[in-house]
Every structure is written in C-alpha cells, then in structure tokens.
Amino acid sequence: MKKAKRDPESLLPLPISVFHILLALADGELHGYGIMKEVAVRTEGKVRLGPGTLYGSIKRLVADGLIEKSDERPDPALDDERRRYYRLTDFGQRVTIAETKRLAHLVGMARARKLLTGLKLSENNR
Amino acid sequence: MEILERLLSASERVYRWLVGVYPKEFRSENGQEMVQAFRDRCREELSRGRISGVIGLWGHTVLDFAVTVSIEHMKKGKSMNTVDKDLRWDVRYGFEMLFKHGLILLKYSAWASGLLLSLLLVALLVGLLASTLAVRHKEKPLNEAWKRTSGTLPMRLFNL
C-alpha cells in the first residue's frame, strides 16, 4: 500500500531491460521464459535477456512493487506447475506509462529538431 | 538426435553449476527458474538444429553470468536505486566493450609482445656479434701496456 502512493517519476529513467520486461507484461501475465521470448520477438532479436539479467531485474521489480507474482495459471494442463507467473501492479503500470511519456517526449524533441527526417535524408543519400 | 540431447543435458549441468555461484538468497529464490529458462532457450535453439545457435547462446549466457553474478554479490538485499542502476550499467558496459574489443586487445598484446621479442633478439644478436668482432685477444693490449711500463708480464709477477 505504501509503495502504491510513491511517485512513479522517482524511479525514472528505467534501465532498458527493466522497461522491456514491463512492456512484455503490459499485455498480461507471463513466466520468466515467456518474458524472454516476448522481448526477443518484440525487438526482432536485437534485445535478448539472459537468465541472470532477467531474474535480477524481476527480483528488484518485485521488491519495488512494480510487478508481483501471480497464483493464477492461464492453462494449468499445458504448463509446468513449477513456473512462476508475474504481472504488473498498479504502481508498475503507472511507472511504465511515465517512462513511455518520458521517452515520447525525448523523441518529440528529436523530431522537432528534424533529426528523424535528417537521418532519413542521410540514409537516402548513401 | 542423441548428440543434441547430450549437448542439452551437458549445457544444463554446466549452467546449474554456474547458478551455484550466485548468492545463496538469490539462487534459492530464482535458481530453479533460471536453469529452466536456460534449458528452454537451449531446447529452442536445438529444435532448429542449430549447434551454432547453442554456441551463440553460451557466449551470451557467459557474458550475462559474468555481469550479473558480480552485481548480485555486490548488492545483496538491496532494492533498485539510481546508484545501483548506474553501477549495473557501468559494469555491463565494461564487460560488453571488453568482449567487443577483445580481438583488438589481443592484436595489440600480440603486437607489443612481438616488438619486445624482436628487441630481445636484436640485443642478443648484437651481443653475440660484438663479442666475436671485438679484439680477438682481449688480454694482448693490456699485456703490452704492462710490459711497456714495468718491463715484465703480469703472469710472471704472479708466478703464472
């Protein structure tokens, strides 16, 4: 309860691996390997989380109240019962939104300086 | 197929051993799942029939292990904060750069040791040449000088 009242901005900027984990969990509960796969698919294989990075980040995200362990299982018959599922908490959702806004603001600034079109032009000139 | 299964179980065994290096609290909380996640990724690569994929996975896993095991030992029981995040990314960046530029490092090390070895060889060669090219009878000029001043040879002086 105490963590829910915290300011999401206090945790920003998030490390990129943490942001990817939160994004993967934005669509619903996933287990560790599911998060790894989701991140790899979303980034077209450019970001691959190793088990150490993943579970180190998960441990701290749980400690900071951004995600929590889930007791529900999407389909117990199809799944290994030893797997633990994780989901975003309300505070985690607010932190994810705050980080997304921060990044969107940065991209907006880059766009205002015509950096995106500039990059496009220089690529076309090659 | 049997070879792939053996590779999978050997990889799992080695990774399980690596997980044992993490702090006790961390591995009792996450160790089993980490091994399971690693095995799943290994199986995924092997199902594509790609041994090169498993080698790549190992390269990535060793790097991940080297970075995270040191971090987990340094911050036992701490939650995420700015200093930790900075440290985490600094350590990761350091390892990644070392990994990335390992070949360059190797190249310069080889170059430096080659240069050192060449210098050593040249010094040895010069020493050898100098010893043979110098005065053939080293004692001769001294003997003559002695004879000029004292009229006797030093050997005679010492009953030699």
Owner of token pair 């591995």: B27
Q: What value of ipTM does the predicted structure carry?
A: 0.78
Considering only CB atoms, A59 lies closest to which of B30, B36, B64, namely B30
Domains of chain A: total? 1
Count Cβ atoms below 10 Å from residue A6 Cβ, excluding itself: 14
Q: What is the pLDDT of residue A90?
A: 94
Query: CA torsion sign, B50 to B52 to B55 to B59?
Result: negative
CATH of residue A91's domain is 1.10.10.10
Sequence-distant (6+) residues with CB within 8 A of B37 are A32, A33, A36, A51, A54, A55
Question: B117: which 2 tokens?
Answer: 């070895």
CA distance A116 to chain B (A): 26
Question: Cα(first)–Cα(last) distance of chain B, in Å?
Answer: 87
Q: Provide the domain limits for residue A77.
A: 3-125
CB atoms near residue B97 (< 10 Å):
11
Specify the amino acid at residue B55: I
CA distance A79 to chain B (A): 13
Average pLDDT over residues A53-65: 92
Concatenate the DSSP letters of all residues of B100-114 into one string: HTHHHHHHHHHHHHH
B32-90 tens-digit pLDDT: 999 999 999 888 888 887 778 888 888 889 989 998 988 888 876 555 555 566 666 67
Global pTM reads 0.65
Question: pLDDT at position B35, please?
Answer: 93
- Which of B30, B61, B84 lies closest to A55 in CB terms? B30
Q: Does A67 lie at the interface with B, CB-CB under 8 angstroms?
A: no
Q: pLDDT tens, B115-129?
A: 899 999 988 888 877
Tens of pLDDT, residues B128-147:
777 766 565 666 667 777 77
